[in-house]
Structure 1
Amino acid sequence: MNLKEFLQTKEDEMLSLLERLVNTDSGSTNKKGIDEVGRIISTEYKKMGFTVEVVEEKEKGNNLLIKHQDAVEPEILIVAHMDTVFREGTAAKRPFTIKGDRAYGPGVIDMKGSQVALLYALKALIAENRGGFENVQIVLNGDEEIGSPTSRSLIEEQSVGKKYALIMEPARKDGSLVSARKGGGRYSVYVKGKAAHAGIEPQNGISAIEELAHKILKLHALTDHGAGISVSTGLIEGGESVNTIAPSAAAHVDIRISQMDQASMLDRQVREICATADVPGTSIVLEGGINRPPMVKNEQTIGLLDTIGKIGAELGIKITDIATGGGSDASFTSAKGVPTVDGLGPVGGNAHSENEYLEIPSFVERTNLLAEVIGRLSASDKTSL
């Protein structure tokens, strides 16, 4: 029996575990739910001879470090997150369901399907006496959807000495892997003005909203799509009533970059814009910064993609890759100089929405691809790659 044949016999098991995970709420602020997902997954890994180190977090979900008990300086780092973007109670309102060839539910593709795929890829390698399962260091984190504040340092530490990094975000709708991602960060601009009655004594007021409007326009002017730079104000708030000169206002700004050297330039420009008020009498407080490096498609990435492409061709899977503006933990491994490919989970789409889905025919197919990639990258005769 080959890897794919083994996995085909396990498809019902895979779907059953996926259902269990999807029906466990694990939004980024739901520590209890994330830790329950971690407990379920840890139990399965331990059955396979893997050790699980729990990195405790007081407020966020715990992070997990997993490797086989026979592992000695594993060369492959695999990263997958356990959190979703959904509020507690979402799973009860719309639990795991199967309609035709698609599975639906909160987090089904981003990325609980990937958690199952990774587990069963390693299970297949063990069952079929193939190497590779002892050559992986796995990081399962609980805060990727909010920028990995507790797990970034852990991922970066585990990147040291690794030859490859495989990130388990889902494949795109067309099956493409991800070879490049934008980096970026977030800023919050808080403005204070002075309240006054808008009809009786408007001259005595100082509008924080007016000042914020100046700042938003100047910040948006930093956008340069040709250079891969985008600045977008996604949330604004302020004022007390429609007939009051606004004494306070705030804007929350998203910035994306495509090259790391753009980070310091943009940060300096943002701070310069917010250092001086356009409306006399207002004051400004700026918080935040650029905290995620871009994932850059370089020669190392291309080499790893070529290897995966050859393996895919042998399996009848055409491997394509794309760049995307969305962020992931791939940025951290890439910035550490580790050849990194993202999107190695199953195929699906509509992530972060009530229509999120996983293509069931891709479940075994992409799990098989992942297993073959792990096994081939771990082969002692690298010339065969």
Structure 2
Amino acid sequence: MDDYLINKEAEMIDLLEQFVNMDSGSLDIHEVNQFSRELQRLFTCIGMDVVVNEQKDVGNHLVIRSKECVHPSILILTHMDTVFEKGTAKNRPFSRDTHRAYGPGVIDMKASLVSIYYVMKTLKEFSRQSIHEVELLITSDEEIGSIYSRDLIEKHAHNKRYCLVLEPARKNGAIVSARRGKGNFTLEVKGKAAHSGIEPERGRSAIEELAYKIIELHDITDEEEGINVNVGLIEGGTSANTISDHATAQVDVRFRTQEQAIEIEQKLNDIMANTEVDGTKISFEGEINRPPMEKTEQTEKLLRIIKRVGDELQIFIKDTETGGASDASFPSALGVPTVDGLGPVGGNPHREDEYLDLSSFVPRTLLLLHVIEELTKR
């Protein structure tokens, strides 16, 4: 099998070029569905059963199995959407040099989609029984928070023995064994406008109240414990000589454990219970929208298997924690042993210089192939 896959490297790069040159920004339903149809065609052509989960507000999700699959034990999570606007692929198409490939979505995560396609193609070609243990879920809204796919992910994660998530490996090749949870909130303050020179005593500054709240919010941060609260965007006021009657802030919250999430929500409620500037009013809305992916004992066992397989392939795997969010959090929160970052190695996702390390493309695909084979022996 290994030689078969190794000899497919040129084909894999050609398919990657095709994928990268197809726009699939999360909010462009037409482009995402066009890409989705190409994925459907490819997997159908190798004899896979493709179920389209139709959506109205985003592109369609895909659930892919072998036709003989009944009770798959492994869920593989990927996504087809990118963060880039329509026209990006035309203006900045796929390119490569000796060591790297470039283009919108090349590492996040179109290289992973090529990898899993060739893994399934290889298993099918060699009639491996492990193919019947795999269920592949390709979603269309990961980059905008998986609002429309979370229920589907949790449904298909239920009763699985393992979940493998194909976000890219870190720049140093490490895979991801833990991710912080995430919440997003909007703080709105209403005050009373007044001219700051003529009648300042009549005003109630929404910006002043917001400033107090920003300091209190940032004080929740505890970097040693993996807690971070960041007010990343603020707006307010109408002019420099007018006491502001409105101000808003967008708040990002990160945390390491579910217990921390409960504590943070209580602190947020306490902060918003009172105002410092008399006459101002507060509205605070939002939610914890991704649970943490915690490194459990079961995760450790899965990691040991992956690292042992890597050793046999001369791919020496390390694991790491990251603050970034991914769909890995959802199966992990359900108690399913989950490891992320099992895609190829690359860097600078969401940027113009996003890249795939070409030397990792086939080896990481081989790693995924052999991990599936090993997990289905158990």
Give the TM-score band, short-chain normalised.
over 0.9
Normalising by structure 1, report the TM-score: 0.96
Q: CA deviation at 1:199?
A: 2.1
Q: CA deviation at 1:198?
A: 2.1
Secondary structure at the aligned position of 1:216 is classed as: helix
Quick one: which of 254, 267, 270 aligns to 1:269? 267
Correspondent of 1:90 among 70, 76, 88:
88
The superposition leaves residues 13-38 of structure 1 with CA deviations (integer Å, 9 ceiling, x where unpaired) of 21122112111221221111211221
SS in 1 for 2:163: strand
Shift of 1:341: 0.6
Q: Which sections of structure 2, spanning at least 5 residues, go unmatched?
A: none
Alpha-carbon shift at residue 130 of structure 1 (Å): 2.5
Distance in 2, Cα, partners of 1:61 & 1:209: 39
1:293 to 274, 291, 308: 291
Matches within 5 A, 1:123-142: 123-142=121-140
Amino acid at match of 1:262: Q
Tell me which residue corresponds to 2:216. Answer: 218
| Aligned counterparts of 1:137 and 1:15: Cα–Cα separation in 2 | 24
The aligned counterpart of 1:325 is: 323
Q: Which residue of 2 aligns with 1:180?
A: 178
Q: What does residue 198 of structure 1 align with?
A: 196
Query: Could you tell me which residue of structure 2 aligns to residue 282 of structure 1?
Result: 280
* Corresponding position of 2:109: 111
> Can you give the 5+ residue segments of structure 1 that lack an aligned partner in the other structure?
none
Query: Post-superposition shift, 1:86?
Result: 1.4
Counterpart residue type for residue 297 of structure 1: K
Aligned with 2:18 (options 17, 20, 28): 20
Instruction: Give the partner amino acid of 1:13.
Output: E
- Measured in 2, the distance between the counterparts of 1:39 and 1:243 equals 56
Deviation at 1:159, TM superposition (A): 1.0
One-letter code of the match for 1:141?
Answer: T
> Which residue of 2 is the match for residue 164 of structure 1?
162
Identity %: 52
Within 5 Å, give how 1:34-73 maps onto structure 2: 34-73=32-71
CA-to-aligned-CA distance 1:270-304 (integer Å, 9 cap, x gap): 12211211111111111101121111111111111
How far apart in 1 are the matches of 2:333 and 2:118? Answer: 29
Scaled by the length of structure 2, what TM-score is found? 0.98
CA distance in 2, matches of 1:151, 1:188: 23
Q: Which residue in the other structure is 1:349 paired with?
A: 347
- Contact 1:125 / 1:375 at 8 angstroms: preserved in 2? no
Does the 8 Å CA contact 1:236/1:251 hold for their aligned counterparts?
A: yes
Could you tell me which of 140, 143, 146 is aligned with 2:141? 143
Q: Which residue of 1 aligns with 2:230?
A: 232
Amino acid at match of 1:323: E
Alpha-carbon distance in structure 1 between the residues aligned to 2:363 and 2:308:
15
**1: distance between equivalents of 2:321 and 2:20?**
28
- Return the alpha-carbon distance in structure 2 between the equivalents of residues 290 and 207 of structure 1: 29
The code of the aligned residue for 1:239 comes to G
Q: CA–CA distance in 2 between the matches of 1:243 and 1:62?
A: 50
